[in-house]
């Protein structure tokens, strides 16, 4: 089926500053310098050695009534300056329980939800169909391979065809055999075909790719996975790349409607110039609709879609209710409560007053307190997730909007075709 016949671009009213933050992120990564090799080595060591956190769960009980008031602009500016440094990987081995979950979640590059269509979509972005499954980091080192989920728990411990990922007949590690030989892959484990679909690469055979662009990382990943495909036949779990396309009209439509060997769970968009930055980033985006994902609108603990959108926010010392972003976004303030501890994750429903915006920023949120969030949860919702869920219920960003934006500009001489580094599964 051919892409839609679209004629003119579509412009939405701004409800976020996502485009501005994309530009700032690109500028910031150009200015930052870090020891990427040391960061990769520490992360690999921690994934192999850290204790798995004990899963925690408890029913959500009723809590005392609390009064909410909307945060002022001054309060939001105050919160914006209160960000803290991430914990260094070399200290992570001392963590236990909830702190392990938080640390591991911060080691992944987490996409923001697409609130508005990026500028220069067809020139500066890739698109891929996201596999449904468990997001995890996979490390091969010293003759073994370990996968850990976002909460830090071990998913599998197994031999693989990755460099240093299995023992040879003489008992040494496969690959170079050096202590510097290890890999770190960002994967989604797809249960149905027992396959790790690789969506990004952090390190390959001791070579760190943190500070490499997505364009180079995808090229490197595709070529390296091709080298090990034959050897993977003899192992229980397979590693497969995901087809990556230039986000022009044909590439976008192919990722959206094309056939893939896995169950889709939305689309991922990568800025071609983005480095692998841990935590939430506006340079990688996720988008979903009912045609490419089974999970578009959030459900409650019973698997049902609640009549009102629910959000999870973190309670700070000063009573502010904030998102998980850095810097966080203030949704309101608790005036009185029996909730003494900052860091508590609280669940709210967005009532009939909804969300209102001014100049691309949140102005007011009509929140109704429901209770504490489940203890197994590590973070509050991100601002982009709250807005995406709100938009899905009221005015969703549709595939037609994306196709309109993906039309090449007159000065763009690229052909509408899949990216040269398409990664075949």
CATH of the domain at 140: 3.30.470.30
Q: How many residues does the chain have?
A: 425
Answer with the one of 251, 267, 296 that is the final residue of a domain. 296
Answer with the one of 262, 296, 330 that is the final residue of a domain. 296
Is residue 276 in a domain? yes
Answer with the one of 272, 296, 320 that is the final residue of a domain. 296
pLDDT value for 360: 79
Shared-domain flag, residues 271 and 151 = yes
Alpha carbons 199 and 213: distance in angstroms, whole number: 14
Q: Which residues make beta-bridge pairs with 362?
A: 357
Shared-domain flag, residues 287 and 343 = no
Taking every pair of C-alpha atoms in the chain, what is the biggest distance, in angstroms?
Answer: 68
Shared-domain flag, residues 290 and 316 = no
Is residue 1 in a domain? no
Shared-domain flag, residues 259 and 116 = yes
Is residue 127 in a domain? yes
Q: What is the count of structural domains for the chain?
A: 2
Shared-domain flag, residues 113 and 235 = yes
CATH number at residue 391: 2.40.50
Alpha carbons 69 and 308: distance in angstroms, whole number: 19
Helix (H) or strand (E) holding 98: helix 98-105
pLDDT value for 26: 82
Closest CA to 89 of 56, 52, 30, 48: 48
Alpha carbons 106 and 95: distance in angstroms, whole number: 14
Shared-domain flag, residues 305 and 290 = no
Residue with tokens 């019973």: 302
Shared-domain flag, residues 368 and 219 = no
Is residue 244 in a domain? yes
Is residue 245 in a domain? yes
| Boundaries of domain holding 156 | 16-28+35-46+94-167+180-296
Alpha carbons 400 and 167: distance in angstroms, whole number: 50
Strand blocks (E) in 216-344: 238-241, 245-246, 264-271, 279-287, 310-315, 320-322, 330-334
Given a contact cutoff of 8 angstroms between Cβ atoms, the answer to whether 271 and 118 are in contact is: yes
pLDDT value for 410: 43
Is residue 156 in a domain? yes
Q: What is the pLDDT along the chain (425 residues), one digit of tens a residue?
A: 445 544 444 445 555 678 888 888 888 776 665 565 566 667 666 666 654 444 444 333 333 444 444 444 433 333 333 333 333 444 555 566 667 667 777 789 999 999 999 999 999 999 999 999 999 999 998 899 999 888 778 899 999 999 989 887 655 555 544 556 889 999 999 999 999 999 999 999 988 999 999 999 999 999 999 888 766 667 889 999 999 999 999 999 999 999 999 999 999 999 999 999 988 899 999 999 999 999 999 988 788 999 999 999 999 988 999 999 988 999 999 876 666 565 689 999 999 999 998 887 899 999 999 999 887 787 899 999 999 999 999 999 999 999 999 985 444 444 444 454 444 33
Alpha carbons 188 and 266: distance in angstroms, whole number: 13
Is residue 69 in a domain? no
Shared-domain flag, residues 215 and 234 = yes
Shared-domain flag, residues 158 and 290 = yes
Shared-domain flag, residues 279 and 342 = no
Shared-domain flag, residues 186 and 247 = yes
Cis omega (within 30 of 0) on the bond before 327? yes
Count CB-CB contacts under 10 A for residue 378: 20
pLDDT value for 99: 72
Helix (H) or strand (E) holding 22: helix 18-31
Chain segment 146-191, per-residue pLDDT in tens: 998 887 788 999 999 999 898 876 555 555 445 568 899 999 999 9
Is residue 306 in a domain? yes
Closest CA to 322 of 308, 334, 332, 336: 332
Shared-domain flag, residues 218 and 115 = yes
């Amino acid at each position: 089926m051919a892409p839609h016949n679209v004629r003119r671009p579509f412009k939405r009213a701004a409800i976020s500053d996502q485009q501005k933050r994309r530009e700032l992120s690109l500028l910031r990564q150009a200015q930052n310098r870090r020891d990427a090799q040391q960061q990769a080595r520490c992360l690999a060591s921690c994934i192999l050695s850290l204790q798995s956190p004990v899963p925690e769960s408890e029913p959500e009980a009723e809590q005392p009534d609390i009064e909410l008031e909307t945060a002022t602009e001054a309060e939001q500016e105050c919160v914006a300056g209160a960000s803290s440094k991430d914990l260094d990987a070399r200290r992570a081995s001392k963590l236990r329980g909830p702190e392990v979950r938080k640390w591991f979640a911060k080691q992944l590059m987490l996409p923001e939800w697409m609130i508005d269509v990026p500028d220069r979509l067809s020139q500066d972005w890739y698109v891929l169909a996201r596999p449904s499954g468990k997001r995890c980091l996979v490390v091969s080192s010293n003759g073994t391979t370990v996968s850990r989920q976002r909460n830090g728990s071990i998913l599998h411990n197994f031999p693989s065809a990755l460099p240093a990922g299995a023992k040879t007949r003489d008992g040494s590690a496969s690959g170079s055999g050096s202590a510097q030989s290890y890999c770190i892959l960002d994967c989604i484990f797809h249960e149905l075909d027992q396959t790790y679909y690789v969506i990004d690469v952090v390190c390959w055979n001791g070579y760190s790719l943190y500070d490499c662009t997505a364009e180079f990382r995808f090229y490197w990943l595709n070529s390296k996975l091709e080298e090990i495909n034959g050897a993977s036949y003899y192992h229980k779990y397979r590693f497969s790349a995901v087809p990556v396309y230039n986000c022009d009209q044909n590439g976008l439509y192919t990722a959206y409607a094309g056939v893939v060997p896995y169950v889709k769970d939305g689309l991922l968009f990568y800025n071609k110039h983005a480095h692998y930055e841990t935590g939430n980033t506006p340079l990688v985006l996720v988008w979903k609709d009912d045609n490419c994902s089974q999970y578009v609108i959030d459900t409650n603990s019973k698997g049902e879609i609640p009549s009102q959108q629910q959000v999870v926010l973190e309670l700070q010392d000063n009573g502010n209710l904030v998102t998980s972003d850095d810097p966080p976004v203030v949704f309101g303030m608790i005036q009185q409560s029996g909730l003494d501890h900052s860091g508590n994750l609280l669940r709210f429903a967005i009532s009939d007053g909804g969300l209102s915006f001014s100049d691309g920023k949140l102005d007011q949120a009509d929140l109704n307190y429901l209770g504490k969030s489940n203890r197994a949860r590590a973070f509050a919702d991100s601002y982009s997730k709250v807005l995406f869920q709100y938009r899905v219920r009221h005015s969703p960003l549709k595939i037609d909007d994306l196709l309109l934006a993906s039309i090449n500009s007159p000065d763009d001489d690229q052909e509408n075709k899949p990216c040269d580094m398409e990664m075949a599964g």
